[in-house]
Amino acid sequence: MHYAFDADQETFRRELATFAQKVLAPHYQPDDRAGRMRPELPREMASMGLTGLRVPERFGGQEADAVTTGLAAEEVSRADINACYILLVAALNADILVGNASEEQLARWLPPIADGSALSALVLTEPEHGSDAANLSLRAQPDGAGWRLTGEKTSISMGMLADTGIVFARTGGSGARGVSAFYVDLHDDRISRTALDDHGGRAIGRASLHFDSVPVGRDELIGQEGAGFVSVMQGFDYSRAVIGLMCVGIAEAALDDALDYARTREAFGGPIGRNQGVAFPLVEQATRLAGARHICYEALWRKDQGLDHTVAANMAKWFAPKTAGEVVHQALLTFGHAGWGSDSPQGQRLRDVMAFEIADGTAQVAKLVVARHLLGRKFAP
């Protein structure tokens, strides 16, 4: 089995590593303290092709494969995992649109995503319907040739910042088949936004969005009426592995810092890395992290090969965030009191990576999906 990136991917990875350390890393902690995303960041990301990775070339994108998208997420997240939300949502929304929208819709919606001029959000979660997203209650009431959206969404990444969003609303009866997807201009004055005060991810503008009879027409409907929930679930099978690599990236940065500290910090007559109590926990975490990374790339490789990747992607979704949290935690402990101060990035890394144990599906949801594949639906929860 071949485990290396090809020559083009490796060149892209090196270019991204330089860009991320030079352009993104210096802003990671200041943006968290300010609780804001720099307005120039989307264009900076676009200059490296990061907003158009999954956008077809004919619409201004890179038309990158899934593995390349994952390696980009890993490298960006080493420097600033919050900046990587832009990459993640742009890739997920582009995949949903390419798989479901018409050519005319794609020509309108994809170029602004690719060039960074429009931030796009995924507007799915509701106050009473997080993991149980198939039972969402935001209504799309028929209105002439279109609909009017009324209700509330919450926990929307970049909700305070996004220009457009894929909004999921109930057009029919109960359950998943009653849900449709719309591409909506979020600057409509009938949409109000409320910022959420979070422990981590403070730069991404997570928010609740309130829709007060917002009009949408047939030309905003993505795909077929009643097919919205299916389209987003298919997208999640892919994005969950990308999220896993975001977590791997930030954990790799934390581990690298801890290893460097173990080499240079001296106590009891030598570098602290000479002590098994310091070295062995880092070895254990490095091993777990390598396993998580392989699961993530297996899922993306399977997608690129046209193979079923649901099991691997959901394994990645629960295992990578949990593992990354443990890696960052151990890295912080390696620094001792020096890692506890707010001048160290380790505490912020721990706060930021914890969010991914919740976002885009909890560990319990991911394990449920895997259990049904391994045991069969009849024998699983």
Q: Which residues constitute the domain of residue 198? A: 121-226
Judge whether 133 and 125 are in contact, CB under 8 Å: yes
Domain stops at, among 69, 91, 118: 118
Same domain, 332 and 284: yes
Same domain, 80 and 97: yes
Distance in angstroms (rounded) separating the CA atoms of residues 280 and 257: 16
Tell me what the pLDDT averaged over the chain comes to. 95
Residue 139 counted as domain residue? yes
Domain stops at, among 172, 202, 226: 226
Beta strands, E only, 110-188: 120-123, 139-143, 146-156, 164-170, 179-185
Judge whether 119 and 162 are in contact, CB under 8 Å: yes
Same domain, 354 and 249: yes
Same domain, 206 and 237: no
Same domain, 195 and 238: no
Same domain, 236 and 367: yes
What sign results for the dihedral spanned by CA atoms 39, 42, 44, 47? negative
Same domain, 104 and 126: no
* pLDDT on residue 327: 98
- CATH for 31: 1.10.540.10
b vs e for 239-270, b when ≥16 Cβ sit within 10 Å of the residue's Cβ?
bbbbbbbbbbbbbbbbbebbbebbeeeeeeee
* pLDDT on residue 1: 62
* pLDDT on residue 227: 83
Residue 58 counted as domain residue? yes
User: What is the full per-residue pLDDT of the chain (381 aa) written as tens digits?
Assistant: 677 899 999 999 999 999 999 999 999 999 999 999 999 999 999 999 999 999 999 999 999 999 999 999 999 999 999 999 999 999 999 999 999 999 999 999 999 999 999 999 999 999 987 777 778 999 999 999 999 999 999 999 999 999 999 999 999 988 888 999 999 999 999 999 999 999 999 999 999 999 999 999 999 999 999 887 777 777 777 899 999 999 999 999 999 999 999 999 999 999 999 999 999 999 999 999 999 999 999 999 999 999 999 999 999 999 999 999 999 999 999 999 999 999 999 999 999 999 999 988 899 999 999 999 999 999 999
Residue 17 counted as domain residue? yes
Same domain, 60 and 155: no
- CATH for 180: 2.40.110.10
Residue 23 counted as domain residue? yes
* pLDDT on residue 128: 85
* pLDDT on residue 38: 95
Q: Is residue 333 packed enough to be buried (19+ CB in 10 Å), middle (13-18) or exposed (0-12)?
A: middle
Same domain, 235 and 355: yes
Over residues 162-189, the pLDDT tens digits come to: 999 999 999 998 888 899 999 999 999 9
Residue 331 counted as domain residue? yes
Residue 1 counted as domain residue? no
Residue 325 counted as domain residue? yes
Q: How far is CA 94 from CA 14, 29, 51, 121, in A?
A: 25, 29, 9, 11
State both tokens at 238. 């892919």
* pTM score, whole prediction: 0.96
Same domain, 75 and 129: no
Residue 191 counted as domain residue? yes
Over residues 198-235, the pLDDT tens digits come to: 999 999 999 999 999 999 999 999 999 988 777 777 77
Pairing between strand 207-216 and 146-156? antiparallel
Q: How far is CA 9 from CA 68, 95, 248, 277, 321, in A?
A: 6, 20, 18, 38, 24
Domain stops at, among 166, 196, 226: 226
Same domain, 239 and 346: yes
Count of the separate structural domains present in the chain: 3
- CATH for 346: 1.20.140.10
Same domain, 351 and 301: yes
> Which residues have C-beta within 8 Å of that of residue 267, sequence separation ≥ 6?
none
